[in-house]
Structure 1
Amino acid sequence: MSIATKPKHIGRNISRIRELRGMKQEALAFAIGLSQQSVSNIEGSENVDEEKLTAIAEVLGVSAEAIKNYSDETVLNVINNTFTSNDNSTINGVNLQPNFNPLDKILELYERLVEVEKEKIEYLERLLKGK
């Protein structure tokens, strides 16, 4: 029993790369001189002619081969293997364990706020006495 490999859907690959780039269909259409509906039709097509594929690839900043060979798994592997964070809270945000008492910090901020308000009152009183 043989398992046939699923053919690459070039239009879907174009759509995914475009979305990863944060580009709308209208912007891609304008850049390659087509209508938004034409881009929608291209993204729905399994195959795209080489001329259009090359123009789209140029606008998206990738090669035509990258569009043909695109896979979500590869992108996720690249992201997972290259993402580094100097801030552990990004990765372990749920398990954040502060090494200080948050109530102490709130109290410090409140005391600072009261001090600033006292200074403001003193300043305003000096201004009123000067007039």
Structure 2
Amino acid sequence: MAEHTIHQGEKIKRFREMLGVKQDALAMELGDDWNQRKVSMLEAKAEIEPALFEKVAKALKVPKEAIENFDTKEAVNIFSHNSYDSSTINSYNCSNTQIFNPIEEILKIYKEKEALCERMLKDKDEMIARLEKLLEK
């Protein structure tokens, strides 16, 4: 029986779903010329141009290597075992020495968005103050 390999579009789809990102949200991150349908078509592609693949990884805020090296069989194997002893961890072959922690990435993104909201509120207050001064004149 031939081993089923997951194509690049499917890997992007699985990562997007694991991160809880909707196709519409990914489309917004990719730019004005993107929409949900175009993301769906991208996820159906076996091969994706390297520049676009990198752009999608950046939009998902994950290293492209994490998506490229994603192995469903290995992921299922890791998640299906509730006990993580040292032999389980050591048997997992990581080709990249950098460890990717999705929870840390999510917290980082949340903090960035929180700071952006605070800056936007400050800008709004400043704009209202300027408009009030203009109206007084």
What's the TM-score once normalised by structure 1's chain length? 0.53
Report the Cα offset of residue 51 of structure 1. 1.1
1:76 is aligned with what amino acid? Answer: V
Equivalent position of 1:77 in the other structure:
77
1:9 pairs with one of 7, 12, 31: 7
1:43 is aligned with what amino acid? Answer: E
Equivalent position of 1:40 in the other structure:
40
Report the Cα offset of residue 57 of structure 1. 0.8
* Aligned-residue RMSD, C-alpha: 2.4
Q: Secondary structure at the match of 2:62?
A: coil
- Seen in structure 2, the aligned counterparts of structure 1 residues 4 and 75 have a Cα distance that, compared at 3 Å, is closer
Say if 2:17 is the partner of 1:19. yes
Q: Matched residue pairs, number? A: 82
1:45 is aligned with what amino acid? Answer: K
Q: Using the aligned pairs only, state the percent identity.
A: 32
Question: Which whole-Å CA distance do the structure 2 matches of 1:17 and 1:42 have between them?
Answer: 13
Question: Which whole-Å CA distance do the structure 2 matches of 1:82 and 1:32 have between them?
Answer: 36
Report the Cα offset of residue 7 of structure 1. 4.7
Equivalent position of 1:56 in the other structure:
56
1:71 is aligned with what amino acid? Answer: D
Q: Which has the larger radius of gyration?
A: 1
1:31 is aligned with what amino acid? Answer: E
Report the Cα offset of residue 8 of structure 1. 3.8
Report the Cα offset of residue 76 of structure 1. 2.6
Gaps of 5+ in 1: 85-131
Report the Cα offset of residue 39 of structure 1. 0.6
Matched-pair contact (CA < 8 Å) for 1:8–1:68: no
Report the Cα offset of residue 79 of structure 1. 3.1
What's the TM-score once normalised by structure 2's chain length? 0.51
- Once the two structures are superposed, residues 14-53 of structure 1 have per-residue CA deviations (whole angstroms, 9 ceiling, x without a partner) of 1111011111000001001112111111000001111111
1:19 is aligned with what amino acid? Answer: E
